[in-house]
């Protein structure tokens, strides 16, 4: 079997973008506006966005939680997978990112379906864990502080409905680290991946798509 060299990898990524990375001008404008506003260029891409939309649409799509809003790009993809009466709660610590995302949600006409909660995600999630009934959330998408992934997982697991999904971005890497690297973010992502993969209540797999996307589905409510 031939090896996946960096050159082949980059051709594969380019192919995925060419074939599956289409987006509307309204979606592309989020990226352009974010660039002009000086936001860091660390959002997911359109290929991962389409996956988020499709996966959300495969659930009941009534309540979705996103951890790490940035400029609202991934939130706008998740919103497209919501049911008619669905809503998305997205959490962001940086007030500049939150204000930018809120403006984009209004520009796109989706602000009435998205609630932006500003604050540290672990703190906000701990509060939500007390408010929301167990098993009431259809999709949780984690994309904030990588070193907090194991903690986020602990907090969100009880909220996820049977048939609901946990999705992690950067499951395999980021600009600074990759599988096998000795980096605290990598170690934390690895701990979260292994915890989800070995959880008897979930089925899970990670795709080597962009920086790695883990998808776990709750198959039962355990004890």
Residues engaged in binding ligand SAM (CB under 6 A): 42-44, 68-71, 73-74, 91-94, 97, 120-121, 143-145, 148
Residue number of the CB closest to ligand SAM reads 68
Question: Which residues make Cβ contacts (< 8 Å) with residue 150, sequence separation at least 6?
Answer: 188, 191, 192, 195
Nearer residue to ligand SAM within complex by CB, 185 or 201? 185
In the complex, minimum distance from the CB of residue 59 to ligand SAM, in angstroms, rounded to a whole number: 18
Cβ atoms of residues 172 and 211 within 8 Å:
yes
Nearer residue to ligand SAM within complex by CB, 38 or 200? 38
In the complex, minimum distance from the CB of residue 93 to ligand SAM, in angstroms, rounded to a whole number: 4
Sign of the C-alpha dihedral computed for residues 194, 203, 2 and 212 taken in this order: negative
In the complex, minimum distance from the CB of residue 42 to ligand SAM, in angstroms, rounded to a whole number: 4
Nearer residue to ligand SAM within complex by CB, 63 or 76? 76
N-terminal to C-terminal alpha carbon distance within the chain: 43
CA pair distance 147, 151, nearest whole angstrom = 8
In the complex, minimum distance from the CB of residue 85 to ligand SAM, in angstroms, rounded to a whole number: 24
CA pair distance 142, 29, nearest whole angstrom = 23
Nearer residue to ligand SAM within complex by CB, 102 or 148? 148
CA pair distance 123, 10, nearest whole angstrom = 38
């Amino acid at each position: 079997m031939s090896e996946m060299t960096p050159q082949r990898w980059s051709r594969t990524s380019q192919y995925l973008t060419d074939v599956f990375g289409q987006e509307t001008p309204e979606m592309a404008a989020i990226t352009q506006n974010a660039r002009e506003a000086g936001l860091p260029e660390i959002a997911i891409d359109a290929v991962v966005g389409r996956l988020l939309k499709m996966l959300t649409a495969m659930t009941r799509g009534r309540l979705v939680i996103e951890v790490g809003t940035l400029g609202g790009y991934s939130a706008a993809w998740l919103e497209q997978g919501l049911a008619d009466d669905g809503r998305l709660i997205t959490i962001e610590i940086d007030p500049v990112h939150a204000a930018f995302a809120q403006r984009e949600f209004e520009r796109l006409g989706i602000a009435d379906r998205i609630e932006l909660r500003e604050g540290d995600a672990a703190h906000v999630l701990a509060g939500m864990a007390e408010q929301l009934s167990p098993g009431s959330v259809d999709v949780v998408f984690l994309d904030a502080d990588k070193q907090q992934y194991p903690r986020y997982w602990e907090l969100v697991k009880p909220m996820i409905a049977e048939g609901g999904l946990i999705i992690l971005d950067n499951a395999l890497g980021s600009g600074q680290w990759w599988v096998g690297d000795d980096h605290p973010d990598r170690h934390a992502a690895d701990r979260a991946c292994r915890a989800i993969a070995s959880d008897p209540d979930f089925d899970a797999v990670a795709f080597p798509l962009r920086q790695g996307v883990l998808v776990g589905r709750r198959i039962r409510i355990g004890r």
